[in-house]
Chain A
């Protein structure tokens, strides 16, 4: 991250592969993630996308916001469909029906499509070793249908199906660590990224597409509607999540960990949690417990990235 400065924004490709006029909420960082990833990948991209926010907002018939070949799938099978696209195109190239060319195959899904419903097909596609990139746009609940909990919802968050109350702290289970599950498949490239660090995100998407084999990118995309924060603070909260250690940015290239951004001064987790509406019921003891759990995971990643 030290290599990049936010002031070189003007050097980024001006072409937009995601058209304006999509129906995302105000301040949606998830559509920003899609926009930046498409900028990094360029026009030779074929995408399959699971049901979710990004599919709903970008393709209400007869309109589409996509300027690349794009197909909408059911919740579970975007990675299966993109595996088929990849194998089919490879066979056509081998038989000389289409010219030899590097094409980026991308499957995209929300955290529900990745961690809950589509995990089996994703695991299968990673295991078969197709040359594709899976992008998980993690906004930490099923925001599209009205903020229901997913297995990616962190401990303590109040959602409509895990409401906080006298007897409930909200979500009582841990956030499923999808990046680590992808690492366990021994694929060439796994990375976590956040829209608040756009150059880091674009570099990672580019590197993932260049890899020969399956790659997995986990993008934390802040959802102002579901996290109950003002829309203009979507970028700020992504930054807070990274700087407090709640969401470490790292990449795993062929099994070797490296931390992409190490905050010079760690800010307290409380600063990230306290102002979010979904955490407003938490007491200081709960916040302390969450901080301890987050630090444990963060220190583990730091240790892995330092050891060789």
Chain B
């Protein structure tokens, strides 16, 4: 759907309210929920991908160099990556008000 989500009315929905565009929830940025952001110390990262595997928000992405960082558009700041990182290279830092 080309229109922003808050401008769509019920008349524009298809029969049976079928959503024909796959995975279009990427338009909704959940990053605004966050109160803490994960910060990766790149020099300590062993590129294992455990944070990526355990992220419930699919917000960990791999950089071209192979490190894993959080996509802050979607990261809700739950802190699972920081807790599960085997080398402890991720720390949670408070967002500025």
Using a CB–CB distance below 8 Å, which chain A residues touch chain B? 6-7, 9-10, 12, 16, 18-24, 26-29, 31-32, 35-36, 58-59, 61-68, 198, 224, 230-236
Cβ contact within 8 Å between B23 and A27: no
Number of contacting residues on B, CB 8 A? 43
Q: Which of these, B5, B29, B59, contacts A62 with CB under 8 Å?
A: B5
For the complex of A and B, 10 pairs with smallest distance between CB atoms: A232-B79, A19-B23, A21-B25, A27-B78, A9-B49, A26-B78, A20-B74, A10-B49, A9-B53, A20-B58
Cβ contact within 8 Å between A9 and B52: yes
A58 to B22, CA, bound (A): 12
B27 beta carbon closer than 8 Å to chain A: yes
Cβ contact within 8 Å between A67 and B23: yes
SS of B interface (majority):
loop
Cβ contact within 8 Å between A61 and B13: yes
Interface residues in B25-42 by Cβ distance below 8 A to A read 25-30, 33
Q: Which of these, B17, B58, B76, B77, contacts A16 with CB under 8 Å?
A: B58
B83 beta carbon closer than 8 Å to chain A: yes
B47 beta carbon closer than 8 Å to chain A: yes
Interface residues in B43-93 by Cβ distance below 8 A to A read 47-50, 52-59, 71, 73-74, 76-80, 82-84, 86, 92
Cβ contact within 8 Å between B58 and A35: yes
Cβ contact within 8 Å between A21 and B74: yes
- Chain A residue contacts of B26, Cβ below 8 A: 19-21
- Known A27-B79, A67-B23; contact A35-B30, beta-carbon cutoff 8 A: no
A28 to B53, CA, bound (A): 14
Most B CB atoms within 10 A — which of A23, A63, A235? A63
